[in-house]
Amino acid sequence: MREFSVPATTEVGPDEALPDMLAENVAEHGEEVGLRIQRAGRWEDVTWREFGEQVRGVAKGLIAAGVQAGDRVALQAKTRYEWTVVDFAVWTAGAVVVPVYETSSPDQVAWILADSGATAMIVEKGEHAAAVDSVRDQAPGLGPVYVIEDDALGTLTAAGAEVPDSELDARRATLNAESLATLIYTSGTTGRPKGCELTHGNFLFEIGNGMSLLDRFMNVQGSLLLFIPLAHVLARVLQVGAVKTRTVIGHTPDVKNLVEDLGAFKPTFVLAVPRVFEKVFNQAKAKAEGDGKGKIFDRAAQVAIDWSRAQENGGPGLALRAQHALFDRLVYGKLRAALGGRCLGAISGGAPLGDRLGHFFRGIGVTVFEGYGLTETTAAASVNHDDALRIGTVGKPLPGVGFAIADDGEILIRGGVVMRGYWKNEQATAEAIDADGWFHSGDIGEIDADGFVKITGRKKEILVTAGGKNVAPAVLEDRLRAHRLISQCIVVGDQRPFIGALITLDEEALPQWLESKGKPADTKIAALVDDPDVRAEIDAAVADANKAVSQAEAIKKYTVLTTDFTEDNGMLTPSLKLKRNVVLKQFDAEVEGLYTR
């Protein structure tokens, strides 16, 4: 079994807990701006003292409402300022946060409330509260439900006005590094979600050892705009890390306004999933083509990629440096401006970004650091950073974390980031964490001689063709999704004679592409699935994806669907991972058609 580990740079004291960071910021840096909140289209500053007072007020309200130390409090909302207030308020009250995606169905909410035994809940909207009421009989221990849009924070603060400060001190005394901080239910691609028990120590170990790797971006001069759901562990860790490093935090719940929000907030650092970076690239390319500058953009993109690759091979030559400087003035500066003009770097998580995009963004001056981790490892267990960057990998293990590759290729992880276990599920915990403390990730990967980790597939998703060839679908799917006209895809072929794919079209990218081809911009997708020009684009994308695999693993046939895979129709998880079983059940006839036509 091949192993690689990095020594810890920070240890967590036995009595440490998450509220300590905020208390220190309030006491020592109270008048500094800690967060910014969007009101009426403007960003308004919030100092650490103001934020801390709100947190304490809500914590007292929860105590007045009967929340006891160790109780679970559910929180369902989009990414917004109030989310962060409630998160720290629940911890300040000595309780445990149970995040719920704001898009969760009543059935999913009922399961999380019942399984966690939540005693109170804070939701964003009245419709969320109504959904909770509809399943309240399945969560008999649930008490009051507060609605953010109905001034939940003000209501709780008023209710807790008589709770003395000494009670908050007493609640803090109940917490230590081993105390449960949050129960995060894995979105899961199959079956009922399991509650991952993450302790205060897990978070403190993660940010203590991880934030130092990002100190060029996460610092008192920096700012972080959060827009992926705070119910997701990676966004949550960066939120907590920003409090630790006193990085100014902003929230925006609606990615439709992301470009405008980036321009106004001007972050130094962003967090996104690969699809966001793909769309930034594809939209920039489409705009250039629409302005008759497609060839210039393509050349600029290639120069950025070549310049980035040269960084790993002794640096660019004189001619490449000159071309890069020219395109920096003509093209790259405009792309950086679209990210707010101050953005120096970003983190991509959830799925592989791909070599080409990784080199492109580094080449334009916004390095995207890929990392790897799971909810069970408190987000990142490995990450690329300034001092150890290898595009195409997910970096080296975090300080204090060990990686190993099992005989079957599975990635094993050990260290202070690994969860305590699955809530009320000893069997699942024993299956996931072995006697030596190794967490079995379910992912297949490699570790090179320098300790860089590469993910090659998902253990449970490996396809075995009728000819006995093992195929990792993610390699092909990630390359296909990088094409501007492709939204989603699923590679199939388990126990079949060859590999095939189901592909969906990107409705946002289509209008501009259609116009460039002299076709009506409002042409329906149903009329495009057999369009020769669309087919030519998809053929080229499939051919490019097939370059990454052997002949036996290559896609031989594909079908273009008229229905996209989305979170709303249940085919993607909230973190935009494919629910393979749901998709395959829904499109069983289309899969069969690949092998019978």
Give the phi and the psi of residue 515 in degrees, each rounded to 5. -60, -35
The overall average pLDDT reported for the chain is 92
Mean pLDDT of 123-136: 96
Read off the pTM: 0.84
User: CB-hemisphere CA count at 13 Å for 513?
Assistant: 21
Residues 304-330 pLDDT 10s: 999 999 998 889 999 999 999 999 999
What is the 8-class DSSP label of residue 353? Answer: -
Q: What does the pLDDT read at residue 189?
A: 47
Question: Residue 191 has what pLDDT?
Answer: 61
In contact, 384 and 395? CB cutoff 8 Å: yes
pLDDT band at 583 (very low <50, low <70, confident <90, very high): very high
User: Tell me, what's the pLDDT at 187?
Assistant: 61
Joined together, the tokens standing for residue 434 give: 């072995």
Q: Is the pLDDT of residue 285 over 90?
A: no
Q: How far apart are CA 366 and CA 202, in angstroms?
A: 29
Q: Which helix (H) or strand (E) holds 331?
A: none
**Confidence label for 58 from pLDDT (cuts 50, 70 and 90):** very high
pLDDT at 1 (0 to 100): 75
Q: What is the model's pLDDT at position 163?
A: 98
**Burial class of 242 by CB neighbour count within 10 A (0 to 12, 13 to 18, 19+):** buried
Radius of gyration of the chain (CA): 24
**Which region among 235-249, 370-384, 457-471, 562-576 has the lowest average model confidence (pLDDT)?**
457-471
Task: Return d(Cα 334, Cα 206) in angstroms, integer.
Answer: 35
Q: Give the model's pLDDT for residue 211.
A: 87
Mean pLDDT value across residues 483-487: 92
CA–CA distance, 507 with 513 (Å, rounded to integer): 10
Q: What's the whole-number mean pLDDT along residues 42-66?
A: 97
